[in-house]
Structures are given as structure tokens and as C-alpha cells.
Chain A
Amino acid sequence: MRYALKEIAFEKKKYILIELLLILLMFMVLFLSGLASGLGRAVTSAIETMDADSFVVDESAEKMITVSKVETGLLDELRAKGVEAAPLDIHRMHIRKQDDDEKLNITYFAIEAGSFIEPEVIEGKGLSHSDGEATILLDDDFRVEGISVGDKVVDAAAGTEFTVAGFVKDRMYGHTSVGYITTDSYTKLRQALSPMYVPEYHAIAVKGDKDLGLDPDILESVSKKEIIKNIPSYTAENMTITMIVWVLVIISAVIIGIFNYIMTLQKRRQFGVMKAIGLSGGELAGMLICEVCIVSVFAGIVSLGLTFGMAAAMPEKMPFYLEVSNAVTVTAAFVVISVLSSLLSVINISRIDPIIAIGGGDNE
């Protein structure tokens, strides 16, 4: 360790350049992985942050809430069994501001006011504080559109008016921002569009793992994780982006490996001399791996700092979301892969014959 540091200190210029390159690579990887999970969150965050453990959907829906149909009577049945249950409808529509023609994408989450799946507001009041008026809680992305608490928004198709009761944070579904309305408002809205509409739920959110006693031919209980996986396009998108991130991690680490290899090639004679005067292969490998660790851990820390600093300075609408644990995993993987790729150099060192130390300077 001591001598590895001395070598790095002596070859300052060389190592600063390598360090710079590494930091840029790492930063790119972390930043992309932040954007990747930001994009992923844009599809799932409304479900992910929901305080439910599983969802009851109909068996033929293939675990997709939006195409499922559950009879309203089931809610009371479940509640009678002492299950914590809450109804949920998810419906993608458009809204507009009261005096504006511009349509805004929205996904309605119709819930029971005051149920455990109602999100906490960051501004304004919850759904249960309406005085008979149709109210809506909006994702805070709508603030950017100039909407504030107390404003009225109109459903673009049905013409139903909602008063904005409050804002919630970080609630997205399928790349659209979510608006929470009550199940009653939702029924009225649907009836305004088609008078034949019979009230029903898309799904029932359940908390806890009580046995629900569902008829397996008709209904199934699906965990939150499974539901998220089955949101259309989520898995495919997520896999693609995750792939890109990991490929970048590996490529960057291999670049370090190659740099390292070139540097050991340049130092063949030095290693030969060290072997000749009796330093064991283990000691030399230890020194090399130590150098790689120092360089990559340092680059990791700096780029983590850069990424989180950058994230703090980014505009709200940017889909950037990086969990510390996730970032640390990526960084740790980076360090581990760089060490692994430097094993190539270790093999190279182990093959150097110490006899090159004997004789003149130039014979290799």
C-alpha cells in the first residue's frame, strides 16, 4: 500500500490523466443509471410508492390492473374477513386547464378517500376534505404547467370539472403524471362518457398477507412487484436501459484493465529487477492490485459526488432518480471489475523472467 501510493505520487501526471478519464467514465455510467431509473420510475412510481402489498385482479387480466375487472361486492367481502382492502381504478385520459385548450396527459388513480392507498400531499389537502365538490390530487409535475391549489381542471373528454385539492410528489404511471380522484368522481366521469357504465373496480389493493380465500378460477392476488413487472413496456424498457448501464460499467472497467496492462508492459524490466532481488510474485501482484484499487475507488468517490451534485442542480421535470444504494452497487461493481481486469496484468507479471535484470539495459 505504502509503495503503491509512492509510485502513484511519483507518476503524478500519468495517474491524474488516468484518474480524469476514469472519473468521466464513471460519471457517465452513474448519470445514465440515474436517468435509467428515473425513466423506470416514470412508469411505476405511483404503484411503487403505494402503501399496498398486493392487488386482487381478475384471473384473465394477466396481472395488468388496467384491463382487470373486479366486482364491487368483493371489497365488502374482503373487508368482512378483516382484510385491509381498498379499491383502485387506473385510467389514462386528458385534462385541460379551465380556460385553456391545451390537453395534458394524465392517468387517473380512482381511490376511496382516506383509504391507505391515498398518497400524502406535499401541498394543499387530501381528498377527504372536499365539501361534496369533485376534487383531485395532482402529481407535482403539473405545477410546471402553471396549475396551483384551488384551480379547476377539466376532463378533456367528459367535461367533468375537478378542483385541485393538493399536490403529491413523485407519482407517475406509464410515463404520465398521476391525478388522484375519488371512486365516486370516477364513476360519474365514466357515466358521463357512456351512460351504460356499471360501477366496478380495476383492482383491489390489499395490505398484509392474510389469506383472501379467492376463487382461483376468477381472481388472483398479485404482489406489487409482479404488478410493476407487468406494466406494459416496463420490463422491456427497463431491461434495455439496465443493459446499457452494465455494458458501460464493463467497458469502462476493461479500459482500466487495458491501461494497466500497457503500464505493466512498460515496466517489465522494473518487475524483472524486483523479482531478481527476491520480491515474490504475490508481493508484486498485491502492489499492482493495490494501485488499481486506489485509483478506481478514488474515481468512484469523486464521480459519486459529481453525480449527486449534478442531480441536485437538475430541473424537476428531468426524470433523474438515483438511489444511494443503487449508485454504490454500480460503483462497487466498477471497482471489482477493474480489479478483475487487472488480473491480466498480474498474469503478465508472473510470466516475466527475472533474468532480464542481468546484462545491459536494453535486452528485454
Chain B
Amino acid sequence: MSKVLLELKDICKAYQDGSEKRLILENISLSVEAGEFAAVVGPSGSGKSTLLSVAGLLLTPDSGSILIAGKDVTSASKRERTGIRRRQIGFVFQNHNLLPFLKTEDQLSFVQDRGVKDKSKIDELLRELGIESCRSSYPAKMSGGERQRTAIARAFINDPDIILADEPTASLDAERGRAVAEMIKAEVKKRNKAAIMVTHDTRILDLTDKVYRIEDRRLVAEQ
């Protein structure tokens, strides 16, 4: 059995909605192993993004614990969380979220860990994702697919333990969306990462290893 890289245990999260508290996630537990590509689906507003934010240390759960690479990070300080996000978590966002003023290779070196200015790593990722030709282009000059692939490269640059993808195909057409999901899958498998992808797009679920559905605040495994 492979190593579990991400583990969520009994996560609860509620939002203050006016005067009452609205429970979004209730006792959610989930573990993802190295080399596993999991998908989380569910209707909008069901708490998919909240779950991803909790896993990505952007939100603190009301109860429950988060383990990354076996280490409990539930009560890490704000500063520690920032460091963990940089080194152990790779994000792929819905709208690429690249910095408009940086060329592709700078997008990667900008987030590369300080002191680890390893150019060969950048070259390798650009080659694998087929965006070498965009090396010196600004995001505004690239196609949607190229941007999203750059964002994937950025997510992998610091060799993180887990990859969190938030609707990575939402801004692309079916064909390009599928290509992007395939690339995430290929990188996850090759580099042995644990990945969670939140998505609407049921046509790419066949690429994932496991599919979870959020229903009534609870996480249910499908298949």
C-alpha cells in the first residue's frame, strides 16, 4: 500500500450566515495516497470549494484534523501554513491565476523555493507539459490551454506532496479541458503525488482513480 500523503479526519466547517450558523461540511474524512488522483464532485454550493480550501490550509476547520505527509498541520500558525502551501501544496486554480507581468519561466522561478533556483526543473516541466514555446510569453499572449498548463507547471515546481485543483477545466472547451486533466494525471502518476480535483465536468471523471460526491454536507465515495 502506498503512503497516505493527505488525510482529513472528521472535518466540520460552518459559516456564519446572518444570525445563524450554516453547517457546510459535517464529519468529512478523506485520505489520498501517493500516486492517487481523486475527484470531488457535487452541485454548486455543496461545499466542494470549502473542502479544497480546508485541505489547502486556506481555511481552518471548526473541528477535525488535517495531516499532510503524515504530519498534523491542523494547528499550524499562519506563517507555517504559508510555508507549507509553498513547499508541500501545489494549487491549480479555475482561472489559471498567473501573474500578468511575468513570462512563463518567471512564473515558475518566482514561486520556486528561495535558494533552490533550479533551472533544469523549470525546463523539465515546460517540456513535459509541452509549453516550451511559451517560455518567454506573457499570459495575455497565450491560449487558455497554455495558461492552464503553465499553472500546472507552477503547481509542481516545488515538488509538493499534494496537488489541489479547483475546477481546472472550467474555463476551457471539452477537448482542451480533457487534455489538461490528462496532464495533471500524468504528472501525478509520474511524480507520485496525491491529487484532489474539484470538478463539475463529469466527462473527465474516467481519468481519476476515485470519485467522491458531496451530498448533504457529507462525503460519499462513488463506484
Binding site for B on A (CB under 8 A): 3, 6-7, 9-11, 269-270, 273-281, 353-355, 357-361
Q: Are B58 and A358 in contact (CB under 8 A)?
A: yes
B86, B94, B101 interface centre (most CB from chain A within 10 Å): B101
Cβ of A279: which chain B residues have Cβ within 8 Å of it? 82, 86, 111
Given that A3-B110, A10-B138, A355-B58 are known contacts, is A273 also in contact with B93, CB under 8 Å in the complex?
yes
A193: min CB distance to chain B, Å: 77
Cβ of A361: which chain B residues have Cβ within 8 Å of it? 94-95
**Told that A3-B110, A353-B58, A354-B85 touch, could you supply 12 new A-B pairs with CB distance under 8 A?**
A3-B102, A3-B106, A7-B101, A10-B138, A274-B99, A275-B82, A276-B58, A276-B93, A278-B84, A354-B58, A357-B97, A358-B93
Binding site for A on B (CB under 8 A): 49, 52-53, 56, 58-59, 79, 82-87, 89, 91, 93-95, 97, 99-102, 106, 110-111, 138, 154, 158, 166, 170
Q: Are B102 and A358 in contact (CB under 8 A)?
A: no
Q: Are A359 and B49 in contact (CB under 8 A)?
A: yes
Given that A277-B86, A358-B49 are known contacts, is A6 also in contact with B91, CB under 8 Å in the complex?
no
Cβ of B93: which chain A residues have Cβ within 8 Å of it? 273, 276, 357-358
Q: Are A10 and B53 in contact (CB under 8 A)?
A: no
Nearest CB to that of A4 among chain B residues?
B101
Q: Are A278 and B89 in contact (CB under 8 A)?
A: yes
Q: Are A280 and B82 in contact (CB under 8 A)?
A: yes
Q: Are A278 and B101 in contact (CB under 8 A)?
A: no
Q: Are A277 and B85 in contact (CB under 8 A)?
A: yes
Cβ of B100: which chain A residues have Cβ within 8 Å of it? 10, 270
Cβ of B58: which chain A residues have Cβ within 8 Å of it? 276, 353-355, 357-358
Q: Are B97 and A278 in contact (CB under 8 A)?
A: no
Cβ of B166: which chain A residues have Cβ within 8 Å of it? 358-359
Q: Are B86 and A10 in contact (CB under 8 A)?
A: no
Q: Are B83 and A278 in contact (CB under 8 A)?
A: yes
Ordered by A's residue number, 29 sampled pairs between the chains whose C-beta atoms are within 8 Å are: A3-B102, A3-B110, A6-B102, A11-B101, A269-B97, A270-B99, A270-B100, A273-B93, A273-B97, A275-B82, A276-B56, A276-B93, A277-B111, A277-B154, A278-B87, A278-B111, A280-B82, A281-B82, A353-B58, A355-B53, A355-B58, A355-B59, A357-B91, A357-B93, A358-B52, A358-B56, A358-B58, A358-B166, A360-B95
Q: How far is the CA of A3 from the CA of B97 in the complex (A)?
A: 17
Nearest CB to that of A2 among chain B residues?
B106
Cβ of A273: which chain B residues have Cβ within 8 Å of it? 93, 97, 99
Cβ of A7: which chain B residues have Cβ within 8 Å of it? 101
A363: min CB distance to chain B, Å: 10
Q: How far is the CA of A274 from the CA of B111 in the complex (A)?
A: 9
B83, B84, B110 interface centre (most CB from chain A within 10 Å): B110
B66: min CB distance to chain A, Å: 15
Q: How far is the CA of A11 from the CA of B101 in the complex (A)?
A: 7
Nearest CB to that of B106 among chain A residues?
A6
Q: Are A277 and B91 in contact (CB under 8 A)?
A: yes
B82, B85, B91, B106 interface centre (most CB from chain A within 10 Å): B82
Q: Are B53 and A358 in contact (CB under 8 A)?
A: yes
Nearest CB to that of B87 among chain A residues?
A278
A294: min CB distance to chain B, Å: 14
Cβ of B53: which chain A residues have Cβ within 8 Å of it? 355, 358
A318: min CB distance to chain B, Å: 45
Q: Are A6 and B101 in contact (CB under 8 A)?
A: yes
Q: How far is the CA of A274 from the CA of B102 in the complex (A)?
A: 13
Q: How far is the CA of A9 from the CA of B101 in the complex (A)?
A: 8
Cβ of B52: which chain A residues have Cβ within 8 Å of it? 358
Cβ of A10: which chain B residues have Cβ within 8 Å of it? 100-102, 138
Cβ of B89: which chain A residues have Cβ within 8 Å of it? 278
Given that A3-B110, A10-B101, A359-B166 are known contacts, is A276 also in contact with B91, CB under 8 Å in the complex?
yes
A195: min CB distance to chain B, Å: 85
Please provide the 8 A-B residue pairs with the shortest distance between their CB atoms, ordered closest to farther. A278-B86, A10-B101, A278-B85, A7-B101, A273-B97, A361-B95, A355-B58, A280-B82
Q: How far is the CA of A275 from the CA of B58 in the complex (A)?
A: 10
Cβ of A358: which chain B residues have Cβ within 8 Å of it? 49, 52-53, 56, 58, 93-94, 166
